[in-house]
Amino acid sequence: MVYRAHVLISGSPQCIDLGAREVKATLLEELAALGLANEVQVMEVSTLGHDEQGPELVIYPEGTQYVDLTADDMRLIVAEHLLKGRPVEKLTYQEPPSEPLPPPSAKEVRVVLDNIGKIDPENIDDYIALDGYIALGEVLSTMAPDDVIAEMKKSGLRGRGGAGFPTWLKWTFARRAESEQKFVICNADEGDPGAFMNRRVLEGDPHAVLEGMAIAAYAIGAQQGYIYVRAEYPIAIKILRTAINQAREYGLLGKNIFESGFDFDIEIRMGAGAFVCGEETALMQSIEGKRGMPLTRPPYPANSGLWGDSTNINNVETLANVPKILRRGAEWFASMGTEKSKGTKTFAIAGKVARTGLIEVPLGMTIREIVYDIGGGVLNGKKFKAVQTGGPMGGCIPEKYLDLPVDYESLAGVGSMMGSGGFVVMDEDTCMVDIARFFMEFTQDESCGKCVPCRVGTRRMLEILERICAGEGKPGDIETLEGLATYIQDGSLCGLGQGAPNPVLSTLKYFRDEYEAHIYDKKCPAKVCKGLIEFTIDPEACIGCTRCARNCPVNAISGKPKETHVIDPEVCIRCGICAQVCPVDAVHVE
């Protein structure tokens, strides 16, 4: 049967509580009375997004949203909207006036991201208008490869992909290597959960990456470049393709660039989404068409990389810095940052922070400045607990290090790492054991399985963490976790295995008491782990309104109207709906 209109009515607990069932009954009665039952389909859906203004419904094909409905309103809507086709304006959902948007902090410094917002990424002329490809032109016309490397050394640029290896040194190894041909690879396999720094550069300023690759290729003597980008970034790939074609048309890629005799071209290779392919040896295996698994190092890619030839791999952000350094000078770049960590870094701020998003700051800015001055502080005025940096192989940094400068050495010194720029803020309601379990779940899932300690060890660690979170932790679990962590770190070939135990080790280091509370006291201090919490109703506060009992999805709550209600812990699934709907906050979590 073909209907001419569809009505979606919210059946969320809150809407039902506010009378959605009565409204729905009236709707069906009215439709039947007016003979519209065969023309209008009514469907109950889980929620439509404005539960607090329920009962709520949407009428399609118009997509009109109605809120705060009564049975009388419903009669009007059926008669006007569904019968006569005239939406009832006064009952429709009105967008609340938007809150004023707070101004971002002036502490951000944009180098890598400078062009983004100013240029059209699909128009090469826009990039050239803002001095694009001038650095490549000058390098090819006036500098020898060794001069380029010397300038990079003076700038102090270090790898932005995680480990912070000096870029000039990496280039020097590749330059010195004897090889029939050489390759430059841009690592755009950005896989850390919640991180999208590189995607932003690729989508917003693709030519900066191409120009950086061409300069790197000239410095080491390569003629072919590859961008290894994950297939999950379709817009980035489309924009990169356009950019490469436009650069070829202008002769900025291809044969005899700037009539210097230098040939260089770039191809895109798409990754299929394996996290481990961000590791350089696994990445090259994947480009070669093999299964993406890491290899033993040495030999390093500079000596034996892609198809056994000398290869230089840099991260997107590292390469995007290169043209700026050569155009504005190494001194300018080295004037930003700290003694050992020069320049700026982009971070993806996420988690329990007021202003999430992407930022770029000079290295050496403190965690406090990033969280409070730029991030706008912890969400809903809660207390800061920790920040997780470095992605799933990084560590959690506790409150006492809020004034720690964010640079490669300082982060490593407290058991975390820079990584590619993940920055997840956690508040007092975050359970650190649960966080460690979450990251272990991720790395365990992404382990390629080549090294037994990583493949089996992360599995065992995850099982122990799951047990602890379920309230079945045993004495000795912490020690077993520590032992496994050491074996996995020592016995894994690549950064994934070597770093996988980090979230557990760093939370054990700073939040050991939370692990102990889970195991010995059978309590989750943050009240997150379902196996360790219990919902109870305060008999003093309960007014016997029956709201909790009516909304409980498993009928775990008993009690007569106007009498105290009781939750049966055996039946309760700890979903928390009772606490949400209680009008007098009588439901407590212990």
Partner 1 sequence: MKNLAELRKIKERALQRRQLSGEEARARVTVAMGTCGIAAGARNTMKAILAEIEQRQIKDVVVTQTGCIGLCEYEPLVKIQVGAEEPIWYGKIDAARAATLIAKRLIDGQPVTEWEVQTTHTS
Q: How far is the CB of 201 from partner 1 (least distance, A)?
A: 8
From 134-142, 298-306, 405-413, 422-430, give the range in contact with partner 1 by CB under 8 A: 134-142
Q: How far is the CB of 238 from partner 1 (least distance, A)?
A: 11
Task: State the Cα angle at 579 between 574 and 583, rounded to 5°.
Answer: 160
| SS3 category, 216 | helix
Does 106 contact partner 1 by CB under 8 A? Answer: yes
From 193-201, 271-279, 464-472, 577-585, give the range in contact with partner 1 by CB under 8 A: 193-201
| CA distances, 39 to each of 22, 24, 66, 320, 578 (Å) | 21, 16, 20, 58, 38
**What sign has the CA pseudo-torsion 198, 410, 334, 278?**
negative
**What sign has the CA pseudo-torsion 456, 458, 461, 462?**
negative
Phi, psi torsion values for 427, nearest 5 degrees:
-105, -175
Among 72, 122, 267, 288, binds partner 1 (CB under 8 A): 122
Among 32, 45, 129, 541, binds partner 1 (CB under 8 A): 129
CA 501 to CA 481: how far, in whole Å? 9
CA 247 to CA 179: how far, in whole Å? 27
Q: How far is the CB of 379 from partner 1 (least distance, A)?
A: 12
Does 345 contact partner 1 by CB under 8 A? Answer: no
Containing 152, the helix (H) or strand (E) segment is: helix 145-155
Phi, psi torsion values for 287, nearest 5 degrees:
-65, -35
From 162-170, 349-357, 408-416, 582-590, give the range in contact with partner 1 by CB under 8 A: 349-357
Binders in 240-269 for partner 1, by CB under 8 A: 250-252, 258-259
Among 53, 285, 356, 420, binds partner 1 (CB under 8 A): 356
Say which DSSP state 354 is in: S
To the nearest 10°, the Cα dihedral for 247, 251, 252, 253?
80
Q: Both tokens of residue 65?
A: 């949203």
CA 146 to CA 130: how far, in whole Å? 27
CA 464 to CA 513: how far, in whole Å? 17
From 148-156, 356-364, 392-400, 559-567, give the range in contact with partner 1 by CB under 8 A: 356-364
Place of tokens 């950019």: 243
Q: How far is the CB of 134 from partner 1 (least distance, A)?
A: 7
Q: How far is the CB of 540 from partner 1 (least distance, A)?
A: 42
Does 445 contact partner 1 by CB under 8 A? Answer: no
Phi, psi torsion values for 133, nearest 5 degrees:
65, 0
Binders in 136-175 for partner 1, by CB under 8 A: 137-138, 141
Sheet containing strand 254-257, strands side by side: 254-257, 262-271, 224-230, 182-188, 310-315
Contact 376, 354 (CB under 8 A): yes
Q: Both tokens of residue 125?
A: 């002329």
Does 37 contact partner 1 by CB under 8 A? Answer: no
Does 388 contact partner 1 by CB under 8 A? Answer: no
To the nearest 10°, the Cα dihedral for 364, 369, 375, 377?
150
From 117-125, 271-279, 389-397, 456-464, give the range in contact with partner 1 by CB under 8 A: 117-125
CA 29 to CA 394: how far, in whole Å? 59
Binders in 224-243 for partner 1, by CB under 8 A: 233, 235-236
From 11-19, 198-206, 384-392, 464-472, give the range in contact with partner 1 by CB under 8 A: 198-206
Q: How far is the CB of 42 from partner 1 (least distance, A)?
A: 28
Among 51, 189, 192, 203, binds partner 1 (CB under 8 A): 203
Does 134 contact partner 1 by CB under 8 A? Answer: yes
State how beta strands 64-66 and 40-45 pair.
unpaired
Does 98 contact partner 1 by CB under 8 A? Answer: yes
Please tell me whether the peptide bond between 299 and the residue prior to it is cis, using omega within 30 degrees of 0.
yes
Does 177 contact partner 1 by CB under 8 A? Answer: no
Does 119 contact partner 1 by CB under 8 A? Answer: yes
Among 21, 75, 110, 574, binds partner 1 (CB under 8 A): 110
Q: Is 475 exposed, middle or buried (0-12, 13-18, 19+ CB in 10 A)?
A: exposed
Nearer to partner 1 among residue 116 and residue 412 (C-beta): 116
From 58-66, 114-122, 277-285, 457-465, give the range in contact with partner 1 by CB under 8 A: 114-122
Nearer to partner 1 among residue 23 and residue 349 (C-beta): 349
Nearer to partner 1 among residue 124 and residue 431 (C-beta): 124
Among 57, 113, 277, 417, binds partner 1 (CB under 8 A): 113
Question: What residue ranges bind partner 1 (CB under 8 A)?
Answer: 97-98, 100-101, 103-111, 113-114, 116-123, 125-126, 128-129, 131, 133-134, 137-138, 141, 196, 199-200, 203-205, 233, 235-236, 250-252, 258-259, 355-360
